[in-house]
Amino acid sequence: MDDSQGVTRVHEHGYVRLVEAWGSDEQIVAAARMSTDGAFRGWGTDTEPGDERLLARLWRDRHTSPFEQAGMSLEVRAPLFVVREWQRHRTQSFNEQSARYGALPYDDYLPSIERVLLGGQSKGNRQGSGTAVPHAAAEAWRTELAGLQERAEAVYRLGIESGISRELSRCALTVSRYSRMRASANLRNWLAFLALRLAPDAQEEIRDYARAVATLLAERFPRTWALAKEGMTT
Ligand SMILES: Cc1cc2nc3c(=O)[nH]c(=O)nc-3n(C[C@H](O)[C@H](O)[C@H](O)COP(=O)(O)OP(=O)(O)OC[C@H]3O[C@@H](n4cnc5c(N)ncnc54)[C@H](O)[C@@H]3O)c2cc1C
């Protein structure tokens, strides 16, 4: 779901917000033309082809450095297990909310019943999910998880209210607790992130975030996205 502030909501408590984007499809072409002292010449028309041909050739031939002349900085609110997967992408730069400096708000990711019903252990991918779970088992596990999250919050608050430091009190929290971070990267590396995190073997929750990133990227770099998404399994 998108709103007018450039925020794409993800699940009940999460979002991806565009902080800023730099560069454009035109600037990628202009950067490539540095090698010949040239400039962006314009996109083609129905009858006259233009610089979309050069952009396509750069992408096809993996002439990747011009795609490093553009990028995006995003603010992300996501459960800790998603943040942990996300921060494996070392070519992004991160700043994250400190749970030592302030208490984390009481928002936990509780998977929807639909997600749990189809969240059985995958038979073909030892890391994945996707098989059916009986309704009663799904309901029972989800209720237990909600109870555990409530209990975790109670122990967290008890620690803080008892004068135990925030850095120690957080031991009570689960990886479903939400954190907030800024993630910044050039366009080449955002596209590499999307190729990995939109793919069906990535966990569904980070795929939902990757879809939000793709939406923002497509708005700002529509021609590059049209080329890049061709090679991605989403
Ligand atoms: C479906 C899936 C399952 C995964 N499962 C696991 C898992 O079980 N355990 C686990 O630990 N991780 C796992 N990962 C994380 C994965 O191993 C990568 O760390 C993560 O996807 C980031 O990819 P990357 O290294 O290409 O990205 P980046 O870190 O952004 O790097 C981009 C590119 O830069 C280059 N690069 C960056 N750093 C180095 C370096 N130090 N040396 C050489 N080249 C470098 C590489 O070419 C790399 O592809 C999983 C990822 C996915 C998508």
Report the C-alpha gap between 122 and 107 in whole angstroms. Answer: 28
Domain boundaries, the chain: 7-97+180-231, 113-172
Give kind and range of the element (H or E) at residue 138: helix 135-161
Nearest CA to ligand 1 atom 12: 88
In ligand 1, the atom with minimum distance to the C-alpha of 91 is 30
Burial 175-188 (b: 16+ CB within 10 A, else e): ebbbbbbbbbbbbb
Nearest to 207 by CA among 217, 216, 198, 194: 198
Residues 6+ away with beta carbon under 8 Å from 125? 201
Per-residue pLDDT, averaged over 185-195, amounts to 98
Q: Give Cα 134 to chain centroid, integer Å.
A: 30
State the distance from the centre of ligand 1 to the C-alpha of 105, rounded, in angstroms: 30
Of 5-14, 23-32, 131-140, 221-230, where does mean pLDDT reach its minimum?
Answer: 5-14
H-only helix segments in 162-186:
166-169
Q: Which ligand 1 atom minimizes the distance to the CA of 196?
A: 53
Task: State in Å: Cα 194 to ligand 1 middle.
Answer: 12
Summary mean pLDDT of the chain: 95
Q: Whole-angstrom Cα distance, residue 223 to residue 234? A: 18
**Amino acid (1-letter code) at residue 200:** P
According to DSSP, the residues that pair with 20 across neighbouring strands are 73
Using a pLDDT cut of 70, give the percent of the chain over it: 98
Q: What percent of the chain has pLDDT over 90?
A: 91
Domain range 7-97+180-231, its CATH number among 3.30.1360.170, 3.40.640.10, 3.20.20.140, 1.10.10.10: 3.30.1360.170
Which DSSP string corresponds to 69-120? Answer: G-EEEEEEEEEHHHHHHHTT-TTSEEEE--TTTSPPPS-B----HHHHHT-E
What's residue 1's pLDDT?
41
pLDDT(103) > 80: yes
pLDDT computed for residue 5 by the predictor: 62
Check whether 56 has a pLDDT greater than 50: yes
Query: Closest by alpha carbon to 113, among 147, 138, 148?
Result: 138
pLDDT greater than 80 at residue 158: yes
